[in-house]
């Protein structure tokens, strides 16, 4: 097969697996300086792996032999609306079904197997977002879509409710179409961001992003940001929900991405009362497991504080007796945030028992400190 025939065959095989679009670009055209500027500003927060694998991301042609090109795909996920009830913990749409890493790789592996049967000289590697590849750069420069002001890739007629996936291959492939940025003067995503994480068009300070705070961050969520998180317990979709291009998108999702039972109806108290075995069963083969059990409970505690309902007090009382300091610290904040007679009484009772310095610090200080410049 010549290059054009190979790319057409890759796209045919990918579409059979549910993927849409196949844009290709040589690895030699992947150099991008925006990552360096982003890292220099400290926007990666605790995501040290972004700097650790900087060279692979910015100079992939030197670090991924024998591969010469990257082929990008999109795979839509379910767009079920979140519950409007504040007592329901909101999980980002992409994580409502099965773990996309497993789903995507399984399907890409089948594409690769078929390619190698057709041509044994082909060498290829399947990638999802765990590989050190600037996948948004690859998608944009190969014509898959343009990078919106919220930093996600948008495709006309498809919006941004999709995953990106890639194949590295030992062929020099390139699509000729390019993406035109069609965000125009719209800045709805910037205005909608609860924490102001989109510091300028196309630039996101991860340290302020609710995705980072509820998933990537392992320790205390900064006190000044907790009230802005609302009832979001895993990720955030706000910037995509307001995007006009998503109002025009109609994307059928794979069966694996259909929301699991209960994820749009479980209350904050029910989440807090789950033991680790029940939680593992609920999120078996789910992307939600990335936040870890106690990170998830931390997020629920913050949502309880924002909900301010005394109905959560029995659950909080039980959790204070069994959860580690990380979770207890946020539960103390939640009790202070409620500010009702019952929560203040529980605070007083627990203050006599608590010994951990991190938790004790939550009994003092401003509940909503001004957001400091970073």
Distances (CA, A) of 130 to 133, 251, 358: 8, 24, 32
**Residue 129 is a catalytic residue:** yes
H/E stretch holding 352 reads: none
Is there a contact between 207 and 39 (Cβ–Cβ < 8 Å)? no
Specify the length of the chain in residues: 374
Q: What's the alpha-carbon Rg for the chain, to the nearest Å?
A: 22
Q: What are the tokens at 229? A: 């998180």
Is there a contact between 287 and 95 (Cβ–Cβ < 8 Å)? yes
Determine the Cα–Cα distance for residues 305 and 292; give it in Å rounded to an integer: 20
Which residues, at least 6 apart from 265, have a Cβ–Cβ distance to it below 8 Å? 83, 88
Catalytic residue among 32, 129, 188, 273: 129
Determine the Cα–Cα distance for residues 162 and 103; give it in Å rounded to an integer: 13
CA-closest candidate to residue 299, choices 207, 243, 236: 236
Is there a contact between 292 and 320 (Cβ–Cβ < 8 Å)? no
**Omega within 30 of 0 (cis) for the link into 66:** yes
| Termini Cα distance of the chain | 53
For residue 74, list its beta bridge partners: 20, 164
Q: Are strands 232-234 and 90-91 parallel, antiparallel or unpaired?
A: parallel
CA-closest candidate to residue 167, choices 5, 2, 25: 25
What amino acid positions are annotated as catalytic residues?
129
């Amino acid at each position: 097969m010549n290059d054009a025939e190979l790319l057409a065959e890759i796209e045919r095989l990918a579409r059979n697996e549910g993927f849409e679009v196949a844009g290709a670009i040589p690895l030699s055209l992947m150099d991008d300086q925006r990552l360096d500027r982003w890292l220099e500003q400290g926007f990666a927060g605790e995501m040290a792996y972004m700097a650790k694998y900087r060279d692979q991301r910015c100079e992939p042609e030197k670090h991924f032999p024998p591969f010469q090109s990257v082929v990008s795909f999109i795979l839509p996920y379910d767009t079920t609306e979140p519950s409007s009830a504040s007592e329901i913990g909101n999980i980002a749409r992409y994580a409502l079904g099965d773990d996309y890493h497993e789903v995507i790789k399984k399907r890409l592996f089948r594409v690769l197997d078929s390619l190698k049967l057709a041509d044994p000289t082909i060498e290829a590697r399947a990638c999802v977002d765990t590989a050190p590849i600037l996948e948004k750069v690859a998608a944009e420069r190969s014509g898959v879509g343009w990078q919106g002001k919220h930093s996600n890739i948008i495709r006309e007629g498809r919006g941004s409710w999709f995953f990106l996936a890639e194949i590295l291959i030992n062929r020099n492939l390139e699509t000729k179409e390019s993406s035109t940025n069609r965000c125009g003067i719209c800045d709805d995503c910037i205005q909608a961001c609860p924490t102001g994480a989109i510091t300028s068009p196309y630039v996101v300070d991860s340290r302020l992003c609710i995705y980072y705070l509820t998933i990537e961050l392992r320790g205390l969520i900064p006190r000044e940001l907790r009230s802005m998180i609302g009832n979001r317990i895993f990720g955030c979709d706000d910037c995509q929900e307001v995007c006009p291009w998503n109002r025009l998108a109609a994307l059928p999702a794979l069966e694996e991405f259909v929301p699991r039972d209960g994820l749009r109806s479980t209350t904050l108290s029910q989440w807090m009362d789950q033991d680790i075995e029940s939680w593992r069963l609920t999120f078996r083969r789910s992307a939600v497991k990335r936040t870890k059990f106690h990170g998830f409970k931390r997020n629920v505690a913050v949502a309880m504080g924002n909900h301010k309902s005394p109905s959560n007090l029995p659950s909080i009382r039980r959790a204070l007796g069994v959860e580690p300091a990380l979770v207890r610290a946020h539960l103390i904040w939640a009790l202070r945030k409620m500010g009702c007679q019952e929560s203040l009484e529980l605070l007083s009772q627990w203050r006599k028992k608590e010994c951990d310095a991190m938790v004790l610090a939550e009994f003092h200080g401003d509940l909503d400190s001004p957001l400091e410049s970073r």
